Structure 1
């Protein structure tokens, strides 16, 4: 399945246009998380691998858990954790 991810936070700027397009083998968010981790290991040397485990994946309307299916339109965002004070 073709997924287009919009990148935010610490991931912004690691790809041209702040987007990543991946072909994902599988149909759930956990499969996408693995595909992003593989891509990151090969292409994003400044991103800590543990960061991706704490990121949330979302459609334009909701945050999805790892067991949930990928959206049919393939449009998603990856949201790194944030903190504030």
Structure 2
């Protein structure tokens, strides 16, 4: 192998190595971004679930209050009759 061919082989090998490193870096970066987006989405779902639980408790309390008022109105109507 002549010196020119060895030099050319070295350059192509080095270029292939750089390309491989760049491709792997891009894949790692993409998977990291995907994981971050997934974590953010899961955090939003958790927040939404917590808010839904709080809203459900408020609705239950309001419903209990309304049932109590309805019962008192029914008692008053029965007394009037």
Normalising by structure 1, we get a TM-score of: 0.20
Structure number having the greater strand percentage: 1
Q: Which has the higher contact order (CA 8 A, sep 6+)?
A: 1
Normalising by structure 2, we get a TM-score of: 0.21
Structure number having the greater helix percentage: 2
